[in-house]
Structure 1
Amino acid sequence: MSVDALGKLCELLKVQGGLSDECHVNIPEQVIIFLIILAHHKKNRTLQVRFYRSGETISKYFNKVLSSVLRVQSLLFAKPVPVPDDCIDPRWKWFKNCLGALDGTYIDVTVPEEDKSRYRTRKGKISTNVLGVCNRDMNFVYVLSGWEGSASDSRVLRDAISRHNNLKIPIGNYYLVDAGYTNCKGFLAPYRHTRYHVQEWAYGRNAPKNFREYFNKKHSSARNIIERCFGLLKKRWAILRSPCFYQIKTQNRIIIACCLLQNFIRLNMDSDPEEDMSLENEQVLIREEHGDNQDSDDEIIDSVEGSNEWTGEMDRHVWTDEETEVFVGFMEELVIEGRIADAGQFRPGSFEKLAAKMNERFPGSGFQITHCKNKVKRLKEKYQFAADMAACSGFGWDDVKQCVVVDNKEILAAYMKKQGVRLYTPGKPFPLYTRLEKIFCKERANGDAAVCGNDAEEEVQMNGSEEMDEEDTDIFNSNHDCSESLLQQPNSVASSSGKKQGKKPSSFKAAKDTKMMKELTDTLKYVFDQQGKRLDAFAQAMVNTREEKKAGDILSELGFTDDEVIFIALKFSTNPQLEKMFWSLGNSQKAGFIRAILHT
């Protein structure tokens, strides 16, 4: 970023974002601290040495600038402009009324241990699935961050369409998407099972041979804009290339802030210094006379529903109920073999086995790997839709009827209007639900942490930066331990607040110190309680050891052999109730009790 662009950014955050100078830290220093953390992924301790500031001061102003950036998201997100009829751009002139392209990308994050299964992708990484939408100028239009890595791209898109601050698509316009999304109103996907990627058209000898390949070539050349946009984003901001140790809520806001700052740089600098011009050269253009593209005349785009407009001629397999039942049984066998990972994702080679088993079970059916993949995808989508519906208020699961039930039609109509797609109808039997639940597991993506630019701005306006400061303290962000941070706390409070040592701390700082002391007291109490429990368990183990030794002596005194004593000891270890009954009897009764055990 140039010096001139940095000055404009500081002025924007001051006037529109509510950022202000502090007593000892001015706005440019605050912004530079923020940009260094994003661009170089520097740790809190490194910036303490570089700027001669405490860890709490670094954390405080990082969160303040982050909140200011989110407050100006409405100014930094680009406005989509449709491709005009007289467009001469060789990439976009074939797609009249197109607004741009969208796709999803994985960004590695750090989450608690209990949430890792939902964030684990099919490649085993802990990531969040980020939906990005850009225009023809490589500027972001909409970003939705926070969905777990196990969620599919189509599910994230459905959420972006149905949420309060949703992705808005004007009437008659559309975005270019890849084959992972549904081809429907507002979203134009390529032909499946046909050459598509840019590398496949890089040389003249691989010219298109039919209208499907020609369409895919033009589609790939234009849609590649979002791939370049993601590549530039991760190249510029190092914090997106490796997991950071902020809370997941802050990590999602950082992703949105990086997209906003990329838009700002591209709008306020003559040339983008990070843009790799070699990406431009990958687009090999061929001169054709014309291309046809029909515009959509549908009225409102408020859902993601399937369409046969481009996929009607695909090779499909019509599944029977018997084939589906057998297929689910084979999936259960793979689960028992351990060939399914977290969040219901099958390991490599699983679909080949499923196709081979189905062809062996139903000779002549011609099952292919793609048929099995599509069937698993449809079953998973139907199960997730039914599970989410059953978990909502007004819905429930009926074990007798094997279906989801709803209280009244008004609740169902409101729910379907919000979802925009109907993958399952309440009242219709779904006997495979419980079996699919064991396959795809309950630890699936739910999107609770998903946030777009407007959502983040509303949270910042509602909560302010003080709450964020309390969430992301230097104990969580920096590399030093808790004892060091507690020892440095008085000095850091004085330096960050810009007040003299003789004055009283503010009410917020006093409340924060009180809360920290209370948490420390509760932690120490918990540790002492756990130590007491361990001592009680140790004492009980010592008593049990003495009782076992006494039991052996008693059995020997009663005339039992060593083999019989060992046999009784094994019985006691496998059945504690027998041991309790043994000690409740008198010495004369114990002998008869032991003989009864030996004769059974």
Structure 2
Amino acid sequence: MGSEEEEDERRAVVVQAVATCVAAVGEYCRAYMFKQPTRFGDDERARFINSIIRATDRDCVTQLRMSREAFFLLCSQLREKTLLRDSRNVSLEEQVVIFLHTVSYNVRNRVIGHRFIRSGETVSRHFHRVLDAVVSLYPVYVKQAGQEPPTDLQTNQNWASYFQDYVGAIDGTHIPTHVPAPDHACFRNRKGALSQNVLAACSFDMKILYLLASWEGSASDARVLHNALTQTDDPLTVPNGKFYIVDARYAHSPGFMAPYRGVRYHLQEYRSGRAPSNMRELFNYRHAQVWNAIERCFGLVKGRFSILKTAIQYAFETQVKVVIACFVLHNFIRSDIDCGEDLHAAGISVGEVEGEMSDNCLSDTSTPIQSPVRSPAIPTRCSPREKTVKSLAEPLFRVAKSKWSSQMDQVLCNKLLKQIALGRKADNSFRREAYQVAAEQVTRQTGVPVTWQNVQNRLRYHKREYNVVRDMLAASGFGWDNERMVVTAPDEVWEEYLKSHPRAARLRGKRIERMDDLGVIVGSNQATGRYVKGSMTMAASSSRINRDLNETWTELDDDLDDHVDLSDDTLGDSIGTMRGQFSSDTPSMPNRCYRGTPTQTSATNHGRSGSGSSTKKRQRPP
């Protein structure tokens, strides 16, 4: 009797499980496979797209951040390079419009879907395809500096004597990012926001020469620059005998010219009649004028593409691709068209962007002070008098130096571990009360007077030491001896490693106590660079993905919810008519391939092969 009841119970469970699975499959098919269009809005969609790319250049620039000519040239290049193609119901031009409108105004997926009368899946799919296609253009529009000096510097006497071998300016900018909670610590920058540190080099006319994204926000600018110089796929190269302009956050070294320290530098410090008063101030003033090109470039890109101002909830690799795509589009716009109207559409006044250059640079003929020409290869040493003057700019409050012993380090580590357990560590650093409590504990147990500033400086020393050890252990041939607490490696491995990492020499054979505790205290909040990929690698990957999709693109991959018969597709009719009208108004415009009916395609001789297209660029006015 009992066995029959158990059998009935098992049968009921099986029936319930099968019914649940059938219901789940049916719901999935209803939601994703047998979709029905929510609105039959071909006319409405056609009117909206035509109002952008058929109307005036001002409307196109306002919505897409580029003129009609630049838009059609971009579509032509994406088609000719087989990076993108039409689908059955979505033309290539509509795909590009969706992408540009999204990155220009940071519009959400559902809003774009409602605006273009497309499903969210369709918008997302085509957004990522256009994103990969634009990233694939990185090698075409982002090229590193050559031996030719900038003509703008040669024609301006204020800079020619100081920066005759200048090729560009380098700086980093932080782009807000969205990452999982375990990665918040290493992505939190010094201002407390989650971001990725993006390194860029630009020419004097604000064209990007090099780009390296995907570094964590806690990474220093100098570390990102070092990684850019040692990249395997696309390293930053400095032409022989040339140099880049950098600010004081970078070292004055061969190939990179930094300003004098301890001397006023920023342009706002020289306003209101406060002219340079000595040779070094004049040099820093000229240096700031030239270096300001990279700051104006960052402001222009972020003003043009609002998606870079907020953290977007994509996968981190997609966020990096968005950054690369925006800078590629920036170079594309500045290479092929005039940039006056797109500045206005980006919400940035031409006077605001070019004001620093015109007011402070081109029209500057004041201050007949003879300025020294600072060599970019050999840092200048200060004389005793200059050192005295420089010391006046340093903080008046100096923290007393303390000689730390192993006992003090042991007390400090124990107390900081307890502070972590109490929740007094906020991602990248401890709170002020944690430093104060640790300083009091060290003073009480060792008898050595220690301030919270001493504790903070000692912790910075441990961070640097831990990072060096961590990098060594990640390299091939190194190991860790738990008994002796030292890093072990054969002599030939040490010699080879020290050639590129001279700082590790002081740790050869040195006993490093409590390595595990240091990993808990300082190791979990350091930028590791594990997400870093060169822009060339990202471009090659995106190009390969797009070409594979184009080869395997079938009708099953088309938009299932927008299955309107294209023979009555008003969008194809109206855009096809618009193409002829626009081409007649602009004879130099290359022919475009739009999705239309087979009759239209054969009549107008605009097939998918893109025959008759031209990639001739309009020359920028002098």
User: TM-score with structure 1 length normalisation?
Assistant: 0.67
Alignment partner of 1:422: what SS?
A: helix
Residue among 523, 526, 529 paired with 1:441:
523
* 1:255 alignment counterpart: 323
Residues 63 and 465, structure 1, Cα contact 8 Å, conserved in 2: no
Structure 2 residue 236 is matched with structure 1 residue 167: yes
* 1:82 alignment counterpart: 149
Residue among 195, 203, 210 paired with 2:272:
203
The structure-2 alpha-carbon separation of the partners of 1:458 and 1:271, relative to structure 1 and needing over 3 Å to count, comes to: closer
Alignment partner of 2:282: what SS?
A: helix
Letter in 2 for 1:442: S
* 1:59 alignment counterpart: 124
* 2:214 alignment counterpart: 146
* 1:345 alignment counterpart: 429
Residues 259 and 287, structure 2, Cα contact 8 Å, conserved in 1: yes
Letter in 2 for 1:450: V
Q: Which has the larger radius of gyration?
A: 1
Structure 2 residue 480 is matched with structure 1 residue 397: yes
* 1:281 alignment counterpart: 355
* 2:22 alignment counterpart: none
Structure 2 residues without counterparts, runs of 5 or longer: 1-65, 551-555, 568-622
Using the aligned pairs only, state the percent identity.
31
Q: CA RMSD in A?
A: 4.1
Deviation at 1:425, TM superposition (A): 4.7
Please give the per-residue CA displacement for 1:525-560, whole angstroms capped at 9, x wherever unaligned.
Answer: xxxxxxxxxxxxxxxxxxxxxxxxxxxxxxxxxxxx
Q: Give the distance between the partners of 2:426 and 2:472, measured in 1 at CA.
A: 22
Residues 416 and 521, structure 2, Cα contact 8 Å, conserved in 1: no
Letter in 1 for 2:429: Q
Alignment partner of 1:193: what SS?
A: coil
Q: Give the distance between the partners of 1:450 and 1:496, measured in 2 at CA.
A: 41
Alignment partner of 1:451: what SS?
A: coil
Residue among 486, 495, 510 paired with 1:429:
510
* 1:530 alignment counterpart: none
Residues 17 and 71, structure 1, Cα contact 8 Å, conserved in 2: no
The structure-2 alpha-carbon separation of the partners of 1:121 and 1:250, relative to structure 1 and needing over 3 Å to count, comes to: same
* 1:456 alignment counterpart: 538
Q: Give the distance between the partners of 2:356 and 2:407, measured in 1 at CA.
A: 47
Q: Give the distance between the partners of 1:340 and 1:213, measured in 2 at CA.
A: 43
Deviation at 1:451, TM superposition (A): 2.6
The structure-2 alpha-carbon separation of the partners of 1:310 and 1:393, relative to structure 1 and needing over 3 Å to count, comes to: farther
The structure-2 alpha-carbon separation of the partners of 1:464 and 1:407, relative to structure 1 and needing over 3 Å to count, comes to: farther
Residue among 274, 297, 303 paired with 1:235:
303
The alignment covers a number of residue pairs equal to: 467
* 1:130 alignment counterpart: 198
Structure 2 residue 110 is matched with structure 1 residue 45: yes
Alignment partner of 2:163: what SS?
A: coil
* 1:518 alignment counterpart: none
Letter in 2 for 1:345: S
* 1:218 alignment counterpart: 286
Alignment partner of 1:218: what SS?
A: helix
**Any residues of structure 2 matched to 1:303-318 within 5 Å, and which?**
none
**Any residues of structure 2 matched to 1:397-546 within 5 Å, and which?**
397-409=480-492, 411-412=493-494, 415-416=497-498, 422-425=503-506, 427-431=508-512, 434=515, 436-464=518-546, 492-493=559-560, 495=562
Structure 1 residues without counterparts, runs of 5 or longer: 299-306, 469-488, 501-600
Q: Give the distance between the partners of 2:383 and 2:313, measured in 1 at CA.
A: 43
The structure-2 alpha-carbon separation of the partners of 1:351 and 1:293, relative to structure 1 and needing over 3 Å to count, comes to: farther
Please give the per-residue CA displacement for 1:96-149, whole angstroms capped at 9, x wherever unaligned.
Answer: 212211111111111112222221222221111111111111111111111111
Structure 2 residue 465 is matched with structure 1 residue 382: yes
Please give the per-residue CA displacement for 1:204-240, whole angstroms capped at 9, x wherever unaligned.
Answer: 2x33333333332222222122111111111111111
Residues 210 and 236, structure 2, Cα contact 8 Å, conserved in 1: yes
Deviation at 1:400, TM superposition (A): 3.5
The structure-2 alpha-carbon separation of the partners of 1:493 and 1:324, relative to structure 1 and needing over 3 Å to count, comes to: farther
The structure-2 alpha-carbon separation of the partners of 1:239 and 1:328, relative to structure 1 and needing over 3 Å to count, comes to: farther
